[in-house]
Amino acid sequence: MDRIPEGRFRDMLHGVPLGHPLHPPLVQVPIGAWTSAALLDLFPRTHRAATALINVGIVTALPAALAGTTDWSRQNRSHQRVGLVHAAANGTALGLYLASSLARIRGRRGWGRALAFAGLTSVGVSSFLGGHIAYHMAGGANQAAYAVGRLPGQWRDIGALAEFPQGRPTATAVGDVPVVVVRSGTEVSALVNICAHMGAPLSQGELRGACLVCPWHGSAFRLSDGEVVGGPASASQPTLQARVRDGRVSVRRSRGGAMVPRQRQRERDIERSAVSGTAQAGK
Which band of pLDDT confidence, cut at 50, 70 and 90, is reported for residue 30?
Answer: very high
Domains of the chain by residue range: 21-136, 145-281
Beta bridge partners of 234: none
Cβ neighbors of 93 (< 8 A, separation 6 or more) are: 34, 119, 120, 122, 123, 126
Is the pLDDT assigned to residue 164 strictly greater than 50? yes
| Cα–Cα separations (whole angstroms), residue 208 to 107, 217, 221, 228 | 60, 15, 10, 13
What integer pLDDT is reported at residue 200 of this predicted model?
A: 96
Evaluated on CA atoms 155, 160, 162, 164, the torsion sign reads negative
Name the fold adopted by 145-281.
Answer: Rieske Iron-sulfur Protein (2.102.10)
Q: How would you classify residue 246: left for phi > 0, otherwise alpha for psi between -120 and 50, otherwise beta?
A: left
The answer to whether 228 touches 221, Cβ cutoff 8 Å, is yes
If you average pLDDT over every residue of the chain, what do you get? 90
Q: How far apart are CA 120 and CA 38, in angstroms?
A: 8
Backbone angles phi, psi at 41, to 5 degrees: -65, -15
Evaluated on CA atoms 82, 26, 142, 135, the torsion sign reads negative
What integer pLDDT is reported at residue 275 of this predicted model?
A: 60
Is the pLDDT assigned to residue 273 strictly greater than 90? no
Please give the model's pTM, rounded to 2 decimal places. Answer: 0.82
Q: Which of 144, 129, 135, 268 minimizes the C-alpha distance to 198? A: 144
The pLDDT of 275-281, averaged and rounded, is: 55
The answer to whether 23 touches 131, Cβ cutoff 8 Å, is no
String of DSSP letters for 182-236: EEETTEEEEEESS-TTT---GGGSEEETTEEE-TTT--EEETTT--EEESS--SP
What integer pLDDT is reported at residue 263 of this predicted model?
A: 46
Residue 124 is inside which H or E element, if any? helix 109-131
Half-sphere exposure in the Cβ direction for 149 (13 Å, CA): 2
Is the pLDDT assigned to residue 35 strictly greater than 50? yes
Q: How far apart are CA 131 and CA 244, in angstroms?
A: 45
What integer pLDDT is reported at residue 258 of this predicted model?
A: 41
Please report, for the chain, how many H helices and E strands are present, in that order: 7, 10
Cβ neighbors of 107 (< 8 A, separation 6 or more) are: none
What integer pLDDT is reported at residue 254 of this predicted model?
A: 86
The pLDDT of 4-19, averaged and rounded, is: 92
Is the pLDDT assigned to residue 168 strictly greater than 90? yes
| 173-189 tens-digit pLDDT | 999 999 999 998 889 99
Judged by average pLDDT, the poorest of 6-15, 124-133, 197-206, 263-272 is 263-272
| 216-266 tens-digit pLDDT | 999 999 999 999 999 999 999 999 999 999 999 999 998 754 444 444 555
Percentage of the residues of the chain whose pLDDT score is greater than 70: 89
The answer to whether 196 touches 184, Cβ cutoff 8 Å, is no
> CA torsion 130→78→220→228, rounded to 10°?
20
Beta bridge partners of 211: 208, 222
Q: How far apart are CA 120 and CA 60, in angstroms?
A: 15
Cβ neighbors of 11 (< 8 A, separation 6 or more) are: 17, 228, 230, 231, 268
